[in-house]
């Protein structure tokens, strides 16, 4: 075709920029298609090593139905922990076509819980889990805060910097769905992936989810559409396993002061554009120069520290960095929910193994997904929820018997869902593990094994 586009073929599809849920029956090509594209890109062979990105990183696409189930279960457990509202009612709250009866007090509790929630996907891929969380929160808030009045008040109260008070007008004037989504993206969602293209796709899906709910005014410049938020501090390209320790410089350097400066930069950058955006980038570079000057003046060897990461990290570039520290990158030290489909099937080796072990210790067989469990241990609140898809070998690996026992001693088990017979996940042969911190006392727990047909009911 010599590079030409076959428009007749494209016109057969019904394209939409709305993120459909698992229960949406409309036949259309929505932003989840970006996840499929990402999966195909992973399958491409790298001529440098003869391997596909999928094989070398252990990354796999997660079907929408599985995302929907894990997201719902995680949010129900989180809300139940914070509000005490019955889990059955909370399940109905998160369903698209289901009514619930809640008191005004209960509604306030849920809105507060959503306003405060912090969520991390440490291997976010194309953003399926963060976007899935957003859709479920949107469904719930539409029911309990119909005009988003209470939600808007909470978002406006977070605006600190006077030059950016125009954000307040944007929130007040925006549609219900837009204001809810914007608040969730700005304050609740965080994603990390070692592949820069993954974080770019995640950001694109966030943009598309906002654009679909923009108020269009043909009498205003650009039809009333304003600049989209900058998400460089929301989805970060880095290696989650290269977790960095706290710094100790004997009082010679106040990194807390620089973390405060960085927090202000993050807040201001989110909704900046034009010259303001460029000025904020300059402030970030100036902060890095201050740190580099400190390192050179005091001759500190600060490799593998928060200080070294802050001096080298370029959030505005297109390259993955080598260190991970959520307090530095997101302004969040501990998360309420850590969720995702971490890589598996690829034991870490050689120099990389030594680097990861020095940070996170040894795990059975040096299998990579165990290290993502260790990352959750570091960054999950004591009452937080962990929800992962991992290989079903986790249940049977004799080399991991002590590890499993220690894990269940440290955390409470909500559920293990064996997905081995679900054709939707073959050939992954996976289980979904839902755990919570020791700060939560469960009335009951156990292992749930569902039959193949039941996947349609959850």
pLDDT, one tens digit per residue, over 171-213 is: 777 889 999 999 999 999 999 999 898 899 899 889 888 888 8
Q: Which of these, 216, 424, 435, lies nearest to 339 by C-alpha position?
A: 435
Q: What superfamily does domain 7-243+323-457 belong to in CATH?
A: Vaccinia Virus protein VP39 (3.40.50.150)
- Of the listed ranges 111-115, 213-217, 322-326, the least confidently predicted one is 213-217
Name which residue leads in pLDDT, 97 or 297: 97
Query: Measured in Å, how far apart are the chain's first and last C-alpha atoms?
Result: 45
- Of the listed ranges 53-57, 86-90, 281-285, the least confidently predicted one is 53-57
Mean pLDDT of the chain: 79
What is the rounded CA–CA span in Å between residue 325 and residue 141? 31
- Of the listed ranges 22-36, 81-95, 175-189, 375-389, the least confidently predicted one is 22-36
Contact 420, 451 (CB under 8 A): no
| Residue 391 pLDDT greater than 80, yes or no | yes
Q: Is the peptide bond before 392 cis (omega within 30 degrees of 0)?
A: no
Contact 263, 207 (CB under 8 A): no
pTM metric for this prediction:
0.84
Residue 10 φ then ψ, to 5°: -65, -35
| Residue 437 pLDDT greater than 80, yes or no | no
> 30 — alpha (psi -120 to 50), left (phi > 0) or beta?
beta
Residue 365 φ then ψ, to 5°: 60, 10
What is the rounded CA–CA span in Å between residue 233 and residue 314? 11
119-121/189-193 β-pairing: parallel
Query: What are 262-315's pLDDT values in tens digits?
Result: 888 888 898 888 888 999 999 998 888 887 777 666 655 555 566 777 778 899
What count of other Cβ atoms lies within 10 Å of the Cβ of residue 182? 24
Tokens found for residue 282: 């300059």
Query: What are 398-409's pLDDT values in tens digits?
Result: 999 999 888 888
pLDDT range class, residue 2, cuts 50, 70, 90: very low
DSSP result, 305-368: SHHHHHHH--TTSSS-BS-B-HHHHHS-SSEEEEEE----S-B--HHHHHHHHHHH---GGGBH
| Residue 258 pLDDT greater than 60, yes or no | yes
What is the rounded CA–CA span in Å between residue 439 and residue 39? 37
| Residue 127 pLDDT greater than 80, yes or no | yes
């Amino acid at each position: 075709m010599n590079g030409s586009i076959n428009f007749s073929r494209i016109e057969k599809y019904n394209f939409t920029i709305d993120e459909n849920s698992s229960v949406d029956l409309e036949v259309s090509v929505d932003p989840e298609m970006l996840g499929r594209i990402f999966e195909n890109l992973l399958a491409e062979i790298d001529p440098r090593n003869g391997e596909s990105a999928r094989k070398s990183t252990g990354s796999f696409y997660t079907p929408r139905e599985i995302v929907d189930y894990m997201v719902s279960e995680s949010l129900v457990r989180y809300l139940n922990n914070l509000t005490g509202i019955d889990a059955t009612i909370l399940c109905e709250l998160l369903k698209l076509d289901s009514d619930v009866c809640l008191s005004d007090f209960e509604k306030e509790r849920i809105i507060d819980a959503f306003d405060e929630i912090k969520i991390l996907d440490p291997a976010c891929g194309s953003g399926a889990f963060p976007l899935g969380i957003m859709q479920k929160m949107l469904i719930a808030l539409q029911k309990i805060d119909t005009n988003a009045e209470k939600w808007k008040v909470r978002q406006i109260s977070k605006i600190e910097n006077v030059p950016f008070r125009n954000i307040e007008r944007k929130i007040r004037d925006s549609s219900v769905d837009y204001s809810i989504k914007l608040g969730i993206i700005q304050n609740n969602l965080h994603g990390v992936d070692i592949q820069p293209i993954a974080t770019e796709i995640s950001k694109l899906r966030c943009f598309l989810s906002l654009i679909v709910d923009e108020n269009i005014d043909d009498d205003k410049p650009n039809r009333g559409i304003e600049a989209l938020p900058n998400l460089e501090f929301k989805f970060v390209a880095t290696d989650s396993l290269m977790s960095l320790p706290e710094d100790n410089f004997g009082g010679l350097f106040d990194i807390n002061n620089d973390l405060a400066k960085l927090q202000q930069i993050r807040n201001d950058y989110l909704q900046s554009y034009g010259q303001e955006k460029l000025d904020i980038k300059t402030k970030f570079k100036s902060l890095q120069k201050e740190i580099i000057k400190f390192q050179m003046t005091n001759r500190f060897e600060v490799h593998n520290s928060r200080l070294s990461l802050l001096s080298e990290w370029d959030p505005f570039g297109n390259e993955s960095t080598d260190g991970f520290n959520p307090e530095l990158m997101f302004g969040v030290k501990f998360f309420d929910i850590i969720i995702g489909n971490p890589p598996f099937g690829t034991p870490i080796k050689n120099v990389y193994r030594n680097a990861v072990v020095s940070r996170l210790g040894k795990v059975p067989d040096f299998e990579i997904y165990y290290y993502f469990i260790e990352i959750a241990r570091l960054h999950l609140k004591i009452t937080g929820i962990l929800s992962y898809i991992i290989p079903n070998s986790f249940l049977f690996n004799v080399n991991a018997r002590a590890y499993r026992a220690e894990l269940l001693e440290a955390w409470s088990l909500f559920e293990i869902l064996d997905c081995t017979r679900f054709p939707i996940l073959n050939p992954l042969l996976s289980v979904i593990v839902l755990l919570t911190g020791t700060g939560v006392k469960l009335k009951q727990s156990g292992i749930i094994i569902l039959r193949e047909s039941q996947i349609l009911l959850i």
